[in-house]
Amino acid sequence: MTATPEVSASVDPNVLTAVLDGKWAGVRRAIRAEMADTRFRDACDLDVEQHRAQVLDQLHELARSGRPRLGFSPEYGGGGDIGGSLTSFEMLAFGDLSLMVKAGVQWGLFGGAVQLLGTAEHHERYLRPIMDLELPGCFAMTETGHGSDVQHLRTTATYDPGTQEFVINTPDQAARKDYIGNAARDGRMAVVFAQLITEGGSRGVHAFLVPIRDERGRPCAGVRISDCGRKAGLNGVDNGRLVFDEVRVPRTALLNQYGDVAPDGTYSSPIDSDNRRFFTMLGTLIRGRVSVAGSAGSATKRALAIAVRYGETRRQFWHPDGHEVAILDYLAHQRCLLPALATSYALHFAQEELVDALDELQSGGSYDEHRQRELESRAAGIKAVATWHATSTIQAAREACGGAGYLAENLLPVLKADTDVFTTFEGDNTVLLQLVAKGLLTSYRDHFEDLGTMATARFVAEQFVGAVIERTAARKVIERLVDAAPGRDDEDALFDRGWQLKLFEDREEHLLDGVARRLRRAASDDTDPFRVFNDAQDHVLHAARAHIDRVVLEAFVAGIDRCGDAGARALLERVCDLYVMANVEADRAWFLEHGRLSASRAKAVVAAVNDLCQELRPQARTLVDAFAIPEQFLAAPMLSEEP
Amino acid sequence: MTATPEVSASVDPNVLTAVLDGKWAGVRRAIRAEMADTRFRDACDLDVEQHRAQVLDQLHELARSGRPRLGFSPEYGGGGDIGGSLTSFEMLAFGDLSLMVKAGVQWGLFGGAVQLLGTAEHHERYLRPIMDLELPGCFAMTETGHGSDVQHLRTTATYDPGTQEFVINTPDQAARKDYIGNAARDGRMAVVFAQLITEGGSRGVHAFLVPIRDERGRPCAGVRISDCGRKAGLNGVDNGRLVFDEVRVPRTALLNQYGDVAPDGTYSSPIDSDNRRFFTMLGTLIRGRVSVAGSAGSATKRALAIAVRYGETRRQFWHPDGHEVAILDYLAHQRCLLPALATSYALHFAQEELVDALDELQSGGSYDEHRQRELESRAAGIKAVATWHATSTIQAAREACGGAGYLAENLLPVLKADTDVFTTFEGDNTVLLQLVAKGLLTSYRDHFEDLGTMATARFVAEQFVGAVIERTAARKVIERLVDAAPGRDDEDALFDRGWQLKLFEDREEHLLDGVARRLRRAASDDTDPFRVFNDAQDHVLHAARAHIDRVVLEAFVAGIDRCGDAGARALLERVCDLYVMANVEADRAWFLEHGRLSASRAKAVVAAVNDLCQELRPQARTLVDAFAIPEQFLAAPMLSEEP
Burial class (CB in 10 A: 0-12, 13-18, 19+), A484: exposed
* Positive or negative torsion for Cα B568, B574, B580, B582: negative
Average pLDDT estimate for B451-466 = 56
Name the residue in chain A with its Cα closest to that of B415: A232
Contact A331 B147 (CB under 8 A): no
Contact residues, chain B, for A318 at CB < 8 Å: 149, 152, 450, 452
Does residue B424 sit at the A interface (CB-CB below 8 Å)? yes
Does residue A523 sit at the B interface (CB-CB below 8 Å)? no
Does residue A455 sit at the B interface (CB-CB below 8 Å)? no
In this predicted structure, the answer to whether residue B471 has a pLDDT above a threshold of 60 is: yes
- Range from A41-55, A506-520, A566-580 that averages highest in pLDDT: A566-580
Count CB neighbours of B475 within 10 A.
12
Average pLDDT estimate for B453-473 = 61
Quick one: DSSP state of residue B466? -
Contact B416 A232 (CB under 8 A): yes
Could you give the ipTM of this predicted complex?
0.95
Q: Of A615, A607, A600, nearest to B539 (Cα)?
A: A607
- Spatial CB neighbours of B275, under 8 Å, sequence gap ≥ 6: B151, B204, B448, B449, B450
Q: Of B312, B386, B400, nearest to B622 (Cα)?
A: B312
Q: For residues B14 and B567, is the Cβ–Cβ distance under 8 A?
A: no
Burial class (CB in 10 A: 0-12, 13-18, 19+), B579: buried
* Positive or negative torsion for Cα B141, B142, B148, B149: negative
The contacts found for B216-225 with CB under 8 angstroms, 24 or more apart, are B217/B188, B220/B247, B221/B247, B222/B246, B222/B247, B222/B248, B223/B247, B225/B183, B225/B184
Name the residue in chain B with its Cα closest to that of A316: B149
- CATH code that applies to domain B13-137: 1.10.540.10
Nearest to B406 among A324, A420, A452 (CB): A420
Between the alpha carbon of residue A23 and those of residues A26, A69, A349, A545, the distances in Å are: 8, 19, 11, 27
In this predicted structure, the answer to whether residue A527 has a pLDDT above a threshold of 80 is: no
Class of domain A287-634: mainly alpha
The more confident residue out of A460 and A383 is A383
Q: Which of the listed CATH numbers 3.40.50.620, 3.40.50.1100, 2.40.110.10, 3.30.70.1520 matches domain A139-283?
A: 2.40.110.10
The more confident residue out of A469 and A103 is A103
Does residue B588 sit at the A interface (CB-CB below 8 Å)? yes
Q: For residues A89 and A103, is the Cβ–Cβ distance under 8 A?
A: yes
pLDDT of residue B441: 85
Which pLDDT band, with edges at 50, 70 and 90, does B521 fall under?
A: confident
- Name residue B23's amino acid: K
Nearest to A592 among B142, B408, B589 (CB): B589
**In angstroms, what separates the C-alpha of A318 from chain B's closest C-alpha?**
7
Burial class (CB in 10 A: 0-12, 13-18, 19+), B142: buried
Quick one: DSSP state of residue A321? T
The more confident residue out of A189 and B522 is A189
Residues A163-181 have pLDDT tens digits of 999 999 999 999 999 999 9
The more confident residue out of A445 and A63 is A63
Residues A179-237 have pLDDT tens digits of 999 999 999 999 999 999 999 999 999 999 999 999 999 999 999 999 999 999 999 99
In this predicted structure, the answer to whether residue A596 has a pLDDT above a threshold of 80 is: yes
Which pLDDT band, with edges at 50, 70 and 90, does B460 fall under?
A: low
- Name residue A139's amino acid: F
In this predicted structure, the answer to whether residue A572 has a pLDDT above a threshold of 90 is: yes
Q: Which residues pair with B315 in a beta bridge?
A: B326
In this predicted structure, the answer to whether residue B642 has a pLDDT above a threshold of 90 is: no
Contact residues, chain B, for A152 at CB < 8 Å: 318, 324
Domain boundaries, chain B: 13-137, 139-283, 287-634
pLDDT of residue A2: 41
pLDDT of residue B342: 98
Distance CA(B431)–CA(B336), nearest Å, equals 28
Does residue A368 sit at the B interface (CB-CB below 8 Å)? no
Distance CA(B352)–CA(B348), nearest Å, equals 6
In this predicted structure, the answer to whether residue B311 has a pLDDT above a threshold of 90 is: yes
The pTM of this model reads: 0.95
Average pLDDT estimate for A424-444 = 89
Distance CA(B508)–CA(B587), nearest Å, equals 12
Does residue A332 sit at the B interface (CB-CB below 8 Å)? yes
Contact residues, chain B, for A406 at CB < 8 Å: 179, 231-232, 420-421, 424
> How would DSSP label each residue in B189-217?
EEEEEEEEEETTEEEEEEEEEEE-B-TTS
Average pLDDT estimate for B33-59 = 91
In this predicted structure, the answer to whether residue A443 has a pLDDT above a threshold of 80 is: no
* Length of chain A measured in residues: 643
Q: For residues A547 and A374, is the Cβ–Cβ distance under 8 A?
A: no
Q: Average pLDDT over chain A, rounded to whole? A: 92
Distance CA(A517)–CA(A510), nearest Å, equals 11
Nearest to A593 among B179, B423, B602 (CB): B602
* pLDDT cut 90: percent of chain B above it: 79
Does residue A134 sit at the B interface (CB-CB below 8 Å)? no
Q: Which residues pair with A165 in a beta bridge?
A: A160, A250
Helix (H) or strand (E) holding A572: helix A566-586
Q: How far is CA B328 from the centre of its chain?
A: 30
Quick one: DSSP state of residue B180? E
Nearest to B330 among A409, A537, A592 (CB): A537
- Farthest-apart Cα atoms in chain B, separation: 89
Question: Which region, left, alpha or beta, applies to residue A293 given φ > 0 means left and ψ of -120 to 50 means alpha?
Answer: alpha
Nearest to A643 among B174, B335, B412 (CB): B174
Q: For residues A168 and A140, is the Cβ–Cβ distance under 8 A?
A: no
Q: For residues A28 and A592, is the Cβ–Cβ distance under 8 A?
A: no
Compute the radius of gyration of chain B from its Cα atoms.
Answer: 25
Compute the radius of gyration of chain A from its Cα atoms.
Answer: 25
* pLDDT cut 90: percent of chain A above it: 79
- Compute the half-sphere exposure of residue B229: CA atoms within 13 Å on the CB side of its CA: 13
pLDDT of residue B2: 41
Tally: H helices and E strands in chain B: 23, 13
Nearest to B395 among A45, A330, A391 (CB): A391
Distance CA(A620)–CA(A339), nearest Å, equals 11
Does residue B615 sit at the A interface (CB-CB below 8 Å)? no
The SS3 call for residue A176 is: coil
Q: Of A246, A638, A203, nearest to A408 (Cα)?
A: A638
Q: Average pLDDT over chain B, rounded to whole? A: 92
SS (H, E, C) A256-295: CCCCEECCCCCEECCCCCHHHHHHHHHHCCHHHHHHHHHH
Distance CA(B148)–CA(B426), nearest Å, equals 9
pLDDT of residue A321: 83
Distance CA(B631)–CA(B637), nearest Å, equals 12
Q: For residues B506 and B487, is the Cβ–Cβ distance under 8 A?
A: no
Distance CA(A497)–CA(A166), nearest Å, equals 58
* pLDDT cut 70: percent of chain A above it: 92
Does residue A361 sit at the B interface (CB-CB below 8 Å)? no
Return residues 149-208 of B near A (CB < 8 Å): 149, 152, 172-174, 178-179
The SS3 call for residue A213 is: strand
Distance CA(B300)–CA(B283), nearest Å, equals 27
- Range from A149-153, B296-300, B490-494 that averages highest in pLDDT: B296-300
Which pLDDT band, with edges at 50, 70 and 90, does A364 fall under?
A: confident
Contact residues, chain A, for B178 at CB < 8 Å: 403
- Range from B39-48, B161-170, B362-371, B463-472 that averages highest in pLDDT: B161-170
pLDDT of residue B517: 87
Contact residues, chain A, for B149 at CB < 8 Å: 316-318, 324
Count CB neighbours of A125 within 10 A.
16
Contact A452 B398 (CB under 8 A): no
Residues B244-267 have pLDDT tens digits of 999 999 999 999 999 999 999 999
Phi, psi for A14 (deg, rounded to 5): -65, -35
Q: Of B425, B606, B519, B378, nearest to A514 (Cα)?
A: B606
Name the residue in chain A with its Cα closest to that of B425: A403
**In angstroms, what separates the C-alpha of A10 from chain B's closest C-alpha?**
23
Q: How far apart are the first and last CA of chain A?
A: 39
Contact residues, chain B, for A450 at CB < 8 Å: 317-318
Q: How far is CA B599 from the centre of its chain?
A: 36
Helix (H) or strand (E) holding B240: strand B240-244
pLDDT of residue B451: 44
pLDDT of residue A145: 94
Does residue A595 sit at the B interface (CB-CB below 8 Å)? yes
Count CB neighbours of B33 within 10 A.
10
Return residues 257-276 of A near B (CB < 8 Å): none
